[in-house]
Copies of this chain bind each other. A is one copy, B any other.
Amino acid sequence: MTAVGPRAREGGARGPRGTAPQGYDPHAFEPFAVTVDLAVFTVREGVLHALLIRRGQEPYAGAWALPGGFVLPRESTELAARRELAEETGLPDDLVAGLHLEQLRTYSEPDRDPRMRVVSVAYTALVPDLPEPHGGGDAAHAEWVALGGCGQLAFDHAEILADARERIGAKLEYTCLATSFCPPEFTLGELQQVYETVWGTVLDRPNFRRKVLATPGFVEQVAGASRLTGGRGKPAALHRAGPATALHPPLLRPEGRQT
């Protein structure tokens, strides 16, 4: 081991919080920047969209990038992710506060940002279609962009986005997360469309219906309410997300899985 720092070659120093060990100067070496990146998804008209920001400066000027930013000195990465999401996207505060934010993984290739060493912790979130983002006070303008229609993404954000999509797909199998894509009241058809959109497959409606209703606490029917979906057809009963979070037995997608 050659690193100099708290747990490597400890100098034996202790002391009040924030005091570095003896022989260790926090400012002596090229520092790491720690950032968060956000892969936020929604389903719009049967197509998966991601929340992206158009870059104004080099590098990657003009390209789409994931929202994100620096972690503050007294912030956890999750808190930073929530703050950035509120600031950069203009999503309603209550929505952001109640959001399920999932840590995806950390990206740390030394040259992932050509300007300096940046280690980035990626988070994923799912939101219903409703809110139309408008840039935060910082003139950042986030937009929903259909996956596949975003050209080359900045930095390694294409990799992050792909990893996030894969994770979301896997999570739908064994959690109740799909309801996060839906408005407070939704039809089973809409819920099914979430699965079909994320997985890119077609599901059998009767079987899907049974699976969902057979899982206690997944959805709860809203008494008496119904809504027309496609303009035509029988009005569908409305449902709310239930208290359950896990889904067993899982709702497996038709094809295989991966590591």
Residue of B nearest to A245 (CB): B259
Q: Which residues of B contact A18 (CB under 8 A)?
A: 114-116
Q: Which residues of B contact A242 (CB under 8 A)?
A: none
Within the assembled complex, what's the spacing in Å between the Cα atoms of A88 and B7?
12
Q: Say whether A14 contacts B59, CB under 8 Å.
A: yes
Q: Say whether A17 contacts B114, CB under 8 Å.
A: yes
Q: Which residues of B contact A78 (CB under 8 A)?
A: 108
Bitwise, A30-45 to B at CB < 8 A (1) or not (0) is: 1111110000000000
- Determine if A183 is an interface residue (Cβ-Cβ < 8 Å): no
Contacts A7-B69, A14-B57, A17-B111 given; indicate if A34 touches B103 (C-beta within 8 A).
Answer: no
- Determine if A198 is an interface residue (Cβ-Cβ < 8 Å): no
Bitwise, A6-19 to B at CB < 8 A (1) or not (0) is: 11111011110111
Contacts A31-B27, A31-B31 given; indicate if A106 touches B121 (C-beta within 8 A).
Answer: yes
Residue of B nearest to A111 (CB): B17
Question: What's the nearest-Cβ distance from chain B to residue A96, in Å?
Answer: 14
Within the assembled complex, what's the spacing in Å between the Cα atoms of A37 and B35?
19
Q: Say whether B32 contacts A6, CB under 8 Å.
A: no
Q: Say whether A34 contacts B32, CB under 8 Å.
A: yes
Question: What's the nearest-Cβ distance from chain B to residue A153, in Å?
Answer: 13
Contacts A109-B76, A175-B259 given; indicate if A33 touches B57 (C-beta within 8 A).
Answer: no
- Determine if A219 is an interface residue (Cβ-Cβ < 8 Å): no
Residue of B nearest to A136 (CB): B1
Within the assembled complex, what's the spacing in Å between the Cα atoms of A2 and B108?
23
Within the assembled complex, what's the spacing in Å between the Cα atoms of A145 and B57?
52
